[in-house]
């Protein structure tokens, strides 16, 4: 079997690379080790976790007003009365979402002539892989190869994942019932997302991290607001320490599980979620043997065009490390095909690497999204800026959806009025961020928001409110708030 492009892995990077090459008339095969298509993103990561989030979000208050007074009442009631959602119903909805999206991806690949071969891929030379399945072994050769096998969660050696009491972000999606209490180890994006989900479902959550801050890459004001909400919803947050042992219940002498912390605390819990990093799925692929450099975490080293040391072997997505987002993985995969085949008219001007400007979405409850540098980064660089703020409770739409705590921040250059960054916490943050991203991409300034017309009532109006606040500060009319 000979192809122009051989893609190993059918996650976001692999899909978009395959589709881009196929639309340019290239012959493409995707080798996927597991049944179905979509990779970990669809089956173990982004899609099922966000489907769970949406179900809990709707459960918490009939789909709206999660940040309002009713939410506070609901969470207090659920924790006092033990009113937890039926996890089996949540999983059924998740399964429908995953199977539906898997069918969409399969149909799209098939429609574009992309072949799919199932089995484990291993390089036997720089131009050939061997694919081993339960039924057969076959050889596939190609002109260009893309390794897009993703990554998996890892845990400290002294905390073993058993899928019963101690979970990682893969096994947590197989829980049989909602626990009464949970300790989440790791206050990064994955840890905070799951901590907020289970807390909103009525679980007593304790969030632990050895660092002294949550979500280190997010604007500190946004994190402070999120932390306050977490505490308001009854979450315990313990920073500056780490777990030294998980003392499991054995049903005889020990009827409860305890997490022992380095600071001397002992937290009783029904479940533990370890969210402390990820490693590349590169074992037994023969990569080092053919000259591809892989680090101690199983991540592949690439250049600005996603090439490995073997120039016709590329890598993209989580297997190359940060930023490790599904959105950036998709663009990395697409650019592999653009650069690898020298395609013109497909965004070839951007083929050197990812665009400098792309958004982050953190699917906690409430959502967080950002594009551009944080205030802390700008202070370090000595930038002269002002911050325009809009609170959701000032907007008619904010009142309608019941989000009393949402906030949108515009960081604006004091002299040029250029938009430097946008930071949002609240309902639909990950969608709203793209308005600011577009203005920044086209080098617009904050006056755009003042003179444009937004639908009413919408949360997008927050851009106009924040823009007025920023400009009025520059003019000396209004102070920062």
The per-residue DSSP string of 156-184 comes to -TTS---SSSEE-TTGGGG-SS--SEEEE
The edge-to-edge listing of strands for the beta sheet with 271-274 is: 166-167, 271-274, 181-185, 204-209, 236-239
- Domain membership of residue 480 (yes or no) is no
Whole-angstrom Cα distance, residue 380 to residue 378? 5
CATH at 163 = 3.50.50.60
What's the pLDDT score for residue 71? Answer: 46
Phi then psi dihedrals of residue 17, to 5 deg:
-65, -45
Question: 457: cis peptide before it, omega within 30°?
Answer: yes
- In 3D space, the residue among 307, 20, 48 whose CA is nearest the CA of residue 172 turns out to be 48
Entry pTM = 0.92
314, 255: one domain: no
- Domain membership of residue 61 (yes or no) is no
10, 148: one domain: yes
Domain boundary among 225, 258, 276: 276
- Domain membership of residue 60 (yes or no) is no
- Domain membership of residue 218 (yes or no) is yes
Q: Are 388 and 469 in contact (CB under 8 A)?
A: yes
List, in order, residues 6 or more apart from 468 with CB less than 8 Å away.
Answer: 388, 450
- Domain membership of residue 77 (yes or no) is no
Whole-angstrom Cα distance, residue 40 to residue 431? 23
370, 440: one domain: yes
Domain boundary among 323, 350, 377: 350
- Domain membership of residue 165 (yes or no) is yes
- Domain membership of residue 384 (yes or no) is yes
Q: Are 4 and 34 in contact (CB under 8 A)?
A: no
Whole-angstrom Cα distance, residue 338 to residue 258? 52
175, 306: one domain: no
21, 133: one domain: yes
3-class SS string, 260-291: EECCCCEEEECEEEECCCEEECCCCCCCHHHC
What's the pLDDT score for residue 352? Answer: 66
174, 245: one domain: yes
List, in order, residues 6 or more apart from 85 with CB less than 8 Å away.
Answer: 55, 56, 59, 178, 201, 202
399, 452: one domain: yes
Phi then psi dihedrals of residue 449, to 5 deg:
-70, -30
- Domain membership of residue 135 (yes or no) is yes
Whole-angstrom Cα distance, residue 176 to residue 88? 7
470, 430: one domain: yes
390, 461: one domain: yes
Angle, helices 46-61/69-81, rounded to nearest 10 degrees: 90
7, 147: one domain: yes
CATH at 370 = 3.30.390.30
What does R_g of the chain's alpha carbons equal in angstroms? 24
pLDDT, averaged in runs of 10, over the chain (481 residues):
97 98 97 94 94 87 45 48 75 94 97 97 98 92 98 95 95 93 97 96 96 96 97 96 92 80 96 96 97 97 96 98 96 95 73 84 97 96 97 96 94 97 97 98 96 97 98 83 61
Whole-angstrom Cα distance, residue 316 to residue 242? 32
Whole-angstrom Cα distance, residue 84 to residue 200? 10
Q: pLDDT tens, 233-257?
A: 899 999 999 999 999 887 666 678 9
What's the pLDDT score for residue 70? Answer: 46
Domain containing 436: what range? 366-474
Strands 120-125 and 128-132: antiparallel
Whole-angstrom Cα distance, residue 456 to residue 39? 40
Whole-angstrom Cα distance, residue 214 to residue 230? 12
Domain boundary among 293, 324, 350: 350
Count structural domains, the chain.
3
Return the number of other C-beta atoms located less than 10 Å from residue 448's C-beta. 17
List, in order, residues 6 or more apart from 32 with CB less than 8 Å away.
Answer: 9, 10, 39, 116, 117, 118
283, 138: one domain: yes
335, 255: one domain: no
């Amino acid at each position: 079997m000979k192809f122009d492009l051989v893609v190993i892995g059918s996650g976001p990077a692999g899909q978009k690379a395959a589709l881009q090459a196929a639309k340019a008339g290239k012959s493409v095969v995707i080798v996927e080790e597991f049944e179905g298509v979509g990779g970990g993103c669809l089956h173990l990561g982004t899609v099922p976790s966000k489907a769970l989030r949406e179900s809990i979000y709707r459960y918490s208050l009939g789909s709206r007003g999660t940040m309002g007074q009713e939410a506070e009442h609901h969470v207090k009631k659920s924790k006092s009365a033990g009113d937890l959602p039926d996890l089996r119903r949540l999983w059924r909805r998740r399964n429908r979402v995953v199977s539906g999206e898997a069918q969409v991806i399969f149909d799209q690949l098939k429609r574009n002539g992309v072949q799919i071969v199932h089995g484990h891929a291993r390089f036997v030379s720089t131009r050939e892989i061997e694919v081993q399945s339960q039924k057969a072994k076959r050889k596939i050769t190609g002109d260009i190869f893309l390794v897009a096998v993703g990554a998996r969660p890892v845990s400290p050696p002294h905390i073993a994942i058993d899928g019963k009491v101690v979970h990682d972000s893969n096994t947590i999606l197989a829980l049989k019932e909602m626990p009464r209490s949970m300790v989440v180890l790791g206050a990064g994006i994955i840890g905070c997302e799951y901590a907020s989900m289970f807390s909103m479902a009525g679980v007593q959550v304790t969030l632990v991290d050895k660092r002294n801050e949550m979500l280190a890459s997010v604007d500190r004001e946004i994190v402070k607001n999120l932390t306050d909400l977490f505490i308001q919803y009854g979450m315990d947050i313990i920073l500056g320490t780490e777990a030294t042992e998980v003392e499991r219940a054995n049903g005889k002498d020990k009827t409860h599980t305890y997490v022992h912390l380095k600071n001397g605390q002992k937290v009783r819990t029904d479940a533990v979620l370890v969210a402390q990093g990820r490693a590349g799925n590169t074992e037994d692929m023969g990569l080092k043997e053919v000259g591809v450099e892989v680090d101690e975490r199983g991540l592949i080293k690439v250049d600005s065009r996603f090439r490995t040391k073997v120039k016709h072997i590329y890598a993209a997505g989580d297997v190359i490390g940060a930023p490790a987002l599904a959105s950036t993985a998709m663009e990395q995969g697409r650019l592999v095909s653009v650069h690898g085949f020298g395609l013109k008219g497909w965004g070839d001007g951007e083929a050197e690497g990812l665009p400098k400007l792309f958004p982050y979405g953190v699917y906690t409850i409430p959502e967080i999204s950002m594009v551009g540098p944080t205030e802390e980064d700008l202070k370090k660089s000595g930038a002269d800026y002002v911050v325009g703020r809009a609170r959701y409770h000032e907007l008619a739409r904010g009142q309608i959806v019941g989000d009393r705590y949402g906030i949108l921040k515009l960081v604006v250059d004091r002299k040029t009025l250029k938009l430097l960054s946008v930071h949002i916490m609240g309902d639909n943050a990950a969608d709203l961020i793209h308005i600011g991203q577009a203005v920044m991409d086209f080098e617009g300034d904050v006056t755009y928001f003042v003179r444009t017309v937004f639908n009413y009532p919408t949360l997008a109006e927050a851009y106009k409110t924040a823009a007025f606040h920023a400009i009025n500060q520059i003019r000396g009319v209004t102070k920062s708030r």
